[in-house]
Amino acid sequence: MVCVLTYLRPDGLTRLLSALAELRFPGEAPELRLLVTDNDPEASARPVCEALGARLPFSLRYQVEKRRGIPQARNAALVAALGSCDFVAFLDDDEVPEREWLAELLRVQRETGADAVTGPCLSRFDVPPPAWIAAAGFFVRPRWPTGQRLRFAYTGNVLIRTEALADLGELFDERMALTGSEDSEFFQRFDRAGRRIVWCDTAVVHDRVPASCARLRWILARSYRAGAAEAYIERKLDPGMAATARIFAHAGYCVAKAALLLAAAGLRGRAAGARALHLASFGVGRLGGLIGLQYAEYQRVHGH
C-alpha cells in the first residue's frame, strides 16, 4: 500500500497522483493500493482524489484525519494499512516519484530482506535560489551505496515491512504534531528494536521547494527546529542526566564553532557565512529543546 499524506496542497497532490499512475515494474506488477490521508477537517483533497481516482491503474481510498498533526495523519494511515498488506510506502504531497521508484524499493527489499528501505529525495526549486544558497548546500542530502545499512530513515521516501511494526508499541509520536522529525524519532526506535534499514540509491523521489523555503530566514528557522526536535528525541530515548549533559555540550560546541566560522566568513564568502549561521541555529535549537522550546514549523503550509 502506498500511503500519501496531504494538507491544503491540491496542485501538489495532483502532480503526485499523476506520477503514481506512471509507475513501472519489470514483469508482473504487484497488487498495489493507494491510501490518501487528508489532514484537513474540511476534506479539501476529496475533489482531487475523486477526479483522478478513476484514471489510476489501482484502487484509491480516501480518508480524513481531523486531528491536526503529521504523526496523527501517519498513524491513521498505518492503522488502515496494518493487517491488510505486506508493505507500506510513504510519500508526501510535495513529492513526485520517478517511474521505477517503487519497483526499486521492492527489489532491494527482496535482495536484502530489510525491514525498511529508503532512498534519495532530490530537491526541485519553483524558482532558482540565489547562487550563495545553492553553494551552501542546504538542500543537498547525503546518499549511500545501495544496500548499505542505516540507523535512520525519513517518511518522504520509505518502504516498511508491516510485520516489522509488531511489538514496537508507539507508532509515530503524536506529541510532535507540527514540529517535524517524528519520522526521525520513529526510525531511531525502529532501529533500536533490531529492525534493519537499508538504502536504495535508485529509488528516487523529487520534492518541491517553493520560493518561500529558499530563503535564509526559513533555512535558519528549520535548523533551529531540527536541533530542538533532536534534543527532544534524545532525551526521550535516553532519559537521564547523561543525555542532557551530552546535548548541552554538543550545543555549546555547535555555537562556538559557528562563531569561529562566522568570523572567517568575510574571507570565504556569503555561503560560508550562511553555513555558520545554520550551525549556530542548530546549536541554539539544541539548547531550546532542553527546556521545551520547540518550533512548530508545519503550522504554516508552504507551496499550497
Contacts of 215 (CB under 8 A, 6+ apart): 133
Per the DSSP assignment, residues forming a β-bridge with 97 are 205
Question: What average pLDDT does range 200-213 have in this prediction?
Answer: 96
Length of the chain in residues, anyone?
304
What is the per-residue pLDDT for 222?
96
With bands split at pLDDT 50, 70 and 90, how would you rate the model's confidence at 169?
confident
Question: What average pLDDT does range 79-95 have in this prediction?
Answer: 93
What is the per-residue pLDDT for 208?
95
Alpha-helical runs (H) found in 113-145: 131-136
Per the DSSP assignment, residues forming a β-bridge with 198 are 117, 149
CA of 58: how far to CAs of 31, 41, 52, 64, 256, in Å?
8, 26, 11, 20, 54
What is the CATH code of the structural domain delimited by 2-212?
Answer: 3.90.550.10
Is residue 19 scored above 90 in pLDDT?
yes
Is residue 268 scored above 90 in pLDDT?
no
Per the DSSP assignment, residues forming a β-bridge with 159 are 89, 117
Is residue 288 scored above 70 in pLDDT?
yes
CA of 102: how far to CAs of 23, 93, 120, 144, 182, in Å?
7, 16, 12, 18, 23
What is the per-residue pLDDT for 167?
85
Is residue 304 scored above 70 in pLDDT?
no
Is residue 129 scored above 70 in pLDDT?
yes
Residue 183's φ and ψ, nearest 5 degrees, are: -75, -35
With bands split at pLDDT 50, 70 and 90, how would you rate the model's confidence at 55?
confident
- Say what the pTM is: 0.93
What is the per-residue pLDDT for 303?
64
Mean predicted lDDT score pLDDT of the chain: 95
CA–CA gap between residue 50 and residue 45 (Å, rounded):
9
Question: What average pLDDT does range 68-90 have in this prediction?
Answer: 94
Give percent of the chain with pLDDT exceeding 70: 99
What is the per-residue pLDDT for 257?
96
Contacts of 110 (CB under 8 A, 6+ apart): none
What is the per-residue pLDDT for 221?
97
DSSP 129: P
Structural domain spans, the chain: 2-212, 216-299
Which region, left, alpha or beta, applies to residue 211 given φ > 0 means left and ψ of -120 to 50 means alpha? alpha
Sign of CA dihedral 166, 88, 234, 191: positive
The separation between the first and the last C-alpha atoms of the chain, rounded to the nearest angstrom, is 25
What is the per-residue pLDDT for 27?
84
CA–CA gap between residue 253 and residue 43 (Å, rounded):
46
